[in-house]
Structure 1
Amino acid sequence: MSSVSTVSGADSSVSVVSASTTDTATTNANSADSLYNEFITLMVAQVQNQDPLNPSDGTEYVSQLAQFAQVQSTENMVTLLNNNAIMMDNLQVLTTADLVGQQVAVRTDAITADGESVYSGSIELTASSNTVTLELVDEAGNVTSIPLGSQPAGNVDFSLDSAALGLNGTYTLNVVLDEGQDYDPSITVNGYVQTVSIPSTGGASVVTIDGVGEVPFYEIASFGQKASS
């Protein structure tokens, strides 16, 4: 119960809310601390009212106290993990906020060409290959092949001139290797971060990369320089 009184001054009045002394803070009756306090109260009552000629076994109390201590420890650990998760989300927000205008290499298997720009990236080979071909498949299923020749294991750089290649629209990227090499090499595409979005439902931040579109923050493979103003 609260009461409201008004203190008048020369120019204004201020409402003051007084909390009744009968108000009590709400607590979680199922929390480890509440259950522990309830157990201690019951244990003390049981000890005080036990038969002096046939006292209770003290080891039972010790065992129960140990169980409650374990429950408290687990609950504290869960709270700590939740706090750490919140802190990591906040750090991610602070980190991604400074990415706008910065060049990054992002893991992706698609690009969106505008018919004018040049797009660069790299293919990560885990083993050498006598033939490496980058295929760009448009939404109609048409394939544009970019032969990259024989390549050793490691990163293979590529460049796509969308004007010269007639690229306009969204393309899926595939890598064709020697016969028998049945793995999919990781592809990264370079681009500048245009915007950073923080999902209202939580989770990873989303960055918008020119030529790539929206990708989760964790798909960024490396960071480069800020764009020159």
Structure 2
Amino acid sequence: MATVVAGADTSVTVQSATTSASAVVTNQNSADALYNQFITLMVAQVQNQDPLNPADGTEYVSQLATFAQVQSTENMVTILNNNAIMMDNLQVLTTADLVGQTVSVRTDTLQADGSTVYDGSIELTSPSNTVTLELTDEQGNVTNIALGSHSSGKVDFSIDTAELGLEGKYSMNVLLDEGQTYTPNITLNGTVEMVSIPSTGGASVLTINGIGDIPFYEIASFGQKSNNS
């Protein structure tokens, strides 16, 4: 705390302190500060116009409308940024609850551990007399799982990695009747082991057994299918 000497002229000191405090508190680039400057300049423009040749009033209205539009855009950007933060927080809360739950993920790879049975499904858009799930390891070795004849729709499958002797990373492909040119979607079921939140923002990353790390939006469905369905 500064000491005031009796009789000394403190007007300069007080004025300097007031100015410094005002500089700290007031943000000259804020929307409110710019709006006040705009109104001040407009009033000065009106007061100093030529009385014999006054400016058209519509010009002032146009200027005010333009500034109001800019201010409205700035407010909208602020609202959108706040909404984005809220969505990120909601995503964190949602994905955190997924740990330990079973989810279905769209994928064409399998991380086999040699002991687990992995369940999944294939989505057919047209019937096929033969449906085969083809698994290829990183050395090019192929394991085929025949699923038989199916009409269009979902075809469930199971991969017993212990029985088939599968361990490591495999790519998955679906073989159909000759002439079928589309690639069916494959979903694999797995348990969420961990949820990671990127420090730079963006989608949460889920670590799922049998699948590995995938972004949150790759999940096709949550929970397991009822045995009664």
Scaled by the length of structure 2, the TM-score of the pair is: 0.85
Residues 28 and 171 of structure 1, relative CA distance in 2, 3 Å threshold: farther
1:196 corresponding residue in structure 2: 195
Aligned partner of 2:88: which letter?
A: D
Matches within 5 A, 1:83-122: 83-122=82-121
CA contact (8 A) 1:192 1:210 kept: yes
1:58 corresponding residue in structure 2: 57
Aligned partner of 1:132: which letter?
A: V
How big is the alpha-carbon RMSD for the aligned residues of Structure 1 and Structure 2?
Answer: 1.7
- How many residues are aligned here? 207
Aligned partner of 2:190: which letter?
A: G
Q: Which has the higher strand share?
A: 1
- SS of match in other structure, 2:148: strand
Deviation string, structure 1 residues 96-126 (Cα, Å, up to 9, x no partner) = 1111111111111111111111111011122
CA contact (8 A) 2:124 2:184 kept: yes
> How far off is 1:183 after superposition?
2.2
Matches within 5 A, 1:164-179: 164-179=163-178
> How far off is 1:32 after superposition?
4.4
Unaligned runs of 5+ in 2: 3-16, 225-229
CA contact (8 A) 1:130 1:178 kept: yes
Aligned partner of 2:72: which letter?
A: S
1:155 corresponding residue in structure 2: 154
2:79 corresponding residue in structure 1: 80
Residues 73 and 112 of structure 1, relative CA distance in 2, 3 Å threshold: same
1:25 corresponding residue in structure 2: 25
1:138 corresponding residue in structure 2: 137
Deviation string, structure 1 residues 49-98 (Cα, Å, up to 9, x no partner) = 11112111111111111111111111111111111110000001111111
Q: Which has the higher helix share?
A: 2
Scaled by the length of structure 1, the TM-score of the pair is: 0.85
Unaligned runs of 5+ in 1: 5-19
- SS of match in other structure, 1:158: strand
